[in-house]
Amino acid sequence: EVQLVESGGGLVQPGGSLRLSCSASGFTFSSYTMHWVRQAPGKGLEYVSTINNNGDSTYYADSVKGRFTISRDNSKNTLHLQMTSLRAEDTAVHYCVKDRRYGDSSWEFDQWGQGTLVTVSS
Amino acid sequence: SSELAQDPAVSVALGQTVRITCQGDSLRTYYASWYQQKPGQAPVLVIYAKNKRPSGIPDRFSGSGSGNTASLTITGAQAEDEADFYCNSRDSSGAVLFGGGTKLAVL
């Protein structure tokens, strides 16, 4: 069974930093593209970032480009999202998401974690 | 920038058929995926590549598309289908798009 468990969320002041982690199990982590998708309270889904299976290609939404960095450690089956220069509009549940396709990216979000809440407020 | 437009809310009588639509220019080129999200839960992929169902998704869920419109159809809606539904695709610049979501009420 695929399991994705996010951690690292919490309350941070505007301009601050936070590092999210996602521990993956139940599948061959190193063979799948991984994504972060977020959802502000009471709002819809918003794409954040993607990293391919071996970590040498990354993609970001314009809203986070230059502030967030996605990375992965395939030896530890872990995905990370380093978030800096945080703004109030970054307040959201951040989901770790597995791509549907083995190997390359399908850009279809197959399995989702339960999410971790990031709150940016003074 | 490209967008995907969904009706904010749709209702269906128990056991009847409902179609939820998603419109956007990117859908002329890229397939849509659909996600169901129940309150307090993470989204679940219900349709990918326009009309394919992941294992475990009931066959009352189906997808279709033509031109700039993708559709998710639930044939014989059940009470447990009440949820928010989101479409998703990409645009020509590579940006990943989500629709604004449709709240489905099963009456």
Q: A110 vs chain B: nearest CA distance in angstroms?
A: 6
Task: Report d(CA A21, CA A6) in Å as an integer.
Answer: 6
What residues of chain B lie within 8 A of the CB of A100, using their CB?
45, 48, 54
Mean pLDDT of chain B: 95
What does residue A15 show for φ and ψ, rounded to 5 degrees?
Answer: 90, -10
- Judged by a CB distance cut-off of 8 A, whether residue B63 touches chain A is no
Please list, in sequence order, all residues whose beta carbon lies within 8 angstroms of the beta carbon of residue A54, skipping any fewer than 6 positions away. Answer: A30, A74
- Judged by a CB distance cut-off of 8 A, whether residue B90 touches chain A is yes
Task: Report d(CA B6, CA B84) in Å as an integer.
Answer: 11
pLDDT in tens, chain A (122 residues): 999 999 999 999 999 999 999 999 999 999 999 999 999 999 999 999 999 999 999 999 999 999 999 999 999 999 999 999 999 999 999 999 999 999 999 999 999 999 999 999 99
Task: Report d(CA B85, CA B36) in Å as an integer.
Answer: 5
Task: Report d(CA B22, CA B94) in Å as an integer.
Answer: 19
pLDDT higher than 80, residue B34? yes
Task: Report d(CA A18, CA A20) in Å as an integer.
Answer: 7
Amino acid found at A49: S
Residue A120 near residue A90 (C-beta atoms within 8 A): yes
Does A114 sit within 8 Å of B43, measured CB to CB? no
Of A114, A92, A111, residue with least CA distance to B44:
A111
How does DSSP assign B15-77, residue by residue?
TS-EEEEEE-GGGGTS--EEEEE-TTS--EEEEBTTTB--TTS-TTEEEEEETTEEEEEESS-
Question: β-pairing, B9-12 with B102-106?
Answer: parallel
Looking at the partner chain, which of A47, A50, A114 has a beta carbon nearest the beta carbon of B42?
Answer: A114
Does A100 sit within 8 Å of B48, measured CB to CB? yes
Return the H-helix or E-strand segment holding B6: strand B5-6
| Residues 9-48 in B contacting A (C-alpha not used; CB under 8 Å) | 33, 35, 37, 42-45, 48
Looking at the partner chain, which of A46, A108, A113 has a beta carbon nearest the beta carbon of B42?
Answer: A113
| Tokens 């986070």 sit on residue | A64
Query: What is the structure's pLDDT at B92?
Result: 85
Q: A75 vs chain B: nearest CA distance in angstroms?
A: 26
Query: What is the structure's pLDDT at B91?
Result: 87
Does B96 sit within 8 Å of A107, measured CB to CB? yes
